[in-house]
Amino acid sequence: METNGYKLADELNRIFDYLHRYPEVSWEEKGTSDYIQSLVSRYDCKVTRFDDCAGVVVEIGNGAPVIALRADMDALWQEVHGTFQANHSCGHDAHMTIALGVFLTMMENGIPETGTFRFIFQPAEEKGNGALKMVDKGVVDDVDFLYGMHLRPAEELSNGRFAPAIQHGAARFIKGTIQGEDAHGARPHLNANAIQVGSEFFQHLNNIQIDPRIPYSVKMTAFQAGGKSANIIPGSATFSLDLRAQNNDVMHQVNDKVEKIASMLGDYHQVAIQLETNADVAAAVLDDDALGMMDEAIVNQAGEASTAPMITTTGGDDFHFYTLKRPSLKATMLAIGCDLRPGLHHPEMTFDRSVIPTAVSILTDCLTRTAKTCSRREE
C-alpha cells in the first residue's frame, strides 16, 4: 500500500489552517468535533459522538486486530500578545491533522483487508483527564494496539527526525489553600501572614531531595493573597503546584514530601493548609512490540538516517492512562522532530509544518504494518 502523505499535502494544509485558526479549550471542543465529523462523514465509516463531552471516534475496516490512533484536540488558555485566548501552542492542531491524514490516506488508497482501524479524537489532554473519560466510554476496551504522537521541541529532536517512543514522566497539578484570619497592618502578632506562609512553602519545596538519578521537579506556579487595602495582613491565600517525576514511584515520593510540608507549616503557623489534586498524569508504560512496529515504519518511510532513539522527557501526557487502565494494550507514541521553537506551551510556538505529510506516512505504515503482522501471527 502506498502511504505517501505528500499526496494530501494541500488538504493537510487546509485542515491544519482551520484547526489552528479555531482553537478550543479543554472540554469545549464541540466546534472542533463538528469539523472532524464533517470531514470524515464524506466517507463510509462509523462515527461516534458523546452526549456529555466533546470527542469523536471514527472507525473503518473490520475484524481483528483492532488498532487505534489517538489525537488530542484541546488548546491552551493563555496570554497571547496581551490578550488571554485559546491557543494551540502544544501542537494538538498538528496531531489532529496527522490523524485525519492517516484516515484520508487509508480511504484514498484502500482499507487493508484485515483489521479494524479506530481514530480517537480525544478532548481535554491539557486537563489530564480526557483519556480517563474515553476509557470510561469504552473506546479502547477491545483495542489491541494503541498509537499516539507528539511534536517535540528542537532541543529534544532535530528537524525531520522521528523516534518510535516518548518516555513521558508523571505530572500532578495541585491546588492549595491557606485558610486563616486577616489582621491590621499595625498588629502582625494577631495572625499568620499568608504571604509569609506561602514563601516558606516555596522555600521548602526547593529543599526536597529525592534520588538525583531520576529526574523530578516541584514548582509553585501561582500564588494569590491580599486585596486592595495595603494595611490588611492577609490570612488566606490560594496557590498552585506543578509536580513532575520520570516514573510513578518517584511521583509518589514527591507528593508525600509536599503533603508533609503542608502539614508542618499548618501546625507551626496554626492555619489550615489544604491540598487538592486537580490533575494526575501517569508516566509512560510502553510496549516493545508496538515500539518495534513504529521503528520499522519510521525506517521504511523516512529512512535510517531520520530514525532517532526513544525520547525521554519530564513532560507528561494523559495518553498513558489508556495503558494503565487497560494493561493489555500495546502502546507507544511517535516523537516528531519539527524545529519546534521556542518551546511547547510558549504562546508564540512555531514548528516546521512540512513534516506533517511524513508523519502521516509513518503512522499509516505503522497501522497497516501492525494489522498485517498480527494477521500473520494468527495464521
Average pLDDT, the chain: 95
113 and 190 both lie in a single domain: no
**Which pLDDT tens digit goes with each residue over 76-115?**
999 999 999 999 999 999 999 999 999 999 999 999 989 9
Question: Where does a domain end: 260, 281, 302?
Answer: 281
Same-domain pairing of 42 and 83: yes
Query: Given 281, 314, 330, which residue is the final one in a domain?
Result: 281
Q: Are residues 274 and 313 in the same domain?
A: no
CATH number at residue 224: 3.30.70.360
Tell me, yes or no, whether 102 and 132 share the same domain.
yes
Specify the pLDDT at position 314: 76
Q: Count structural domains, the chain.
A: 2
Report pLDDT for 282.
Answer: 87
Q: Give the pLDDT confidence of 49-71 residue by residue, as tens digits.
A: 999 999 999 999 999 999 999 99
Q: What is the 3-state secondary structure (H, E, C) of the chain?
A: CCCCHHHHHHHHHHHHHHHHHCCCECCCCHHHHHHHHHHHCCCCCEEECCCCCCCEEEEEEECCCEEEEEEECCEEEEEECCEEEEECCCCHHHHHHHHHHHHHHHHHHCCCCCEEEEEEEECCCCCCCHHHHHHHCCCCCCCCEEEEEEEEECCCCCCCCEECCEECCEEEEEEEEEECCCEECCCHHHCCCHHHHHHHHHHHHHCCCCCCCCCEEEEEEEEEECCCCCCEECCCEEEEEEEEECCHHHHHHHHHHHHHHHHHHHHHHCCEEEEEEEEEECCCCCCHHHHHHHHHHHHHHHCHHHECCCEECCCCCHHHHHHHHCCCCEEEEEEEEEEEECCCCCCCCECCHHHHHHHHHHHHHHHHHHHHHHHHHHC
Quote the CA–CA distance of 90 and 287 in Å, as a whole number: 25
Q: Give the residue among 167, 170, 184, 205 at the shortest CA–CA distance from 286.
A: 167
| pLDDT tops 70 at residue 309 | yes
- pLDDT tier at 2, thresholds 50, 70, 90: very low
176 & 191 share domain: yes
The pLDDT value recorded for residue 109 is 92
Q: Residues of 201-214 as b/e, b for ≥16 C-beta within 10 angstroms?
A: bbebbeebeeeeee
Regarding whether 209 and 95 lie in a shared domain, the answer is: no
193 & 141 share domain: no
279 confidence band (pLDDT: 50, 70, 90)? confident
Domain extent for 246: 170-281
Residues 91 and 227 in one domain: no
- Is 90 exceeded by the pLDDT of residue 316? no
Residue 206 is predicted with a pLDDT of 96
pTM: predicted TM-score of the whole model, two decimal places: 0.84
pLDDT at 1 over 60: no
- Residue whose entry in the numeric block shows the C-alpha cell 512540512: 354
For residue 56, what is its C-alpha cell?
469523536
Looking up residue 22, the CATH number of its domain turns out to be: 3.40.630.10
Neighbour count for residue 284 (Cβ, 10 Å): 25
**High-pLDDT (> 70) share of the chain, %:** 98
Res 180 pLDDT > 60: yes
Using the predicted structure, report yes or no on whether residue 378 has a pLDDT greater than 80: no
Cis peptide before 123 (omega within 30 of 0): no
User: Is the domain of 11 the same as that of 94?
Assistant: yes
Same domain, 309 and 164: yes
Among 231, 252, 281, give the residue marking a domain's end: 281
| Confidence band of 375 (pLDDT split at 50, 70, 90) | confident
Identify the pLDDT of residue 128: 87
pLDDT of amino acid 379: 56
**pLDDT attached to residue 4:** 59
User: Do residues 316 and 214 both lie within one domain?
Assistant: no
pLDDT score, position 65: 97
Digit-coded pLDDT (tens) for 203-232: 999 999 999 999 999 999 999 999 999 999
Looking at the fold, whether 256 and 299 belong to one and the same domain comes out as no
Is 338 or 375 the better-scoring residue by pLDDT? 338
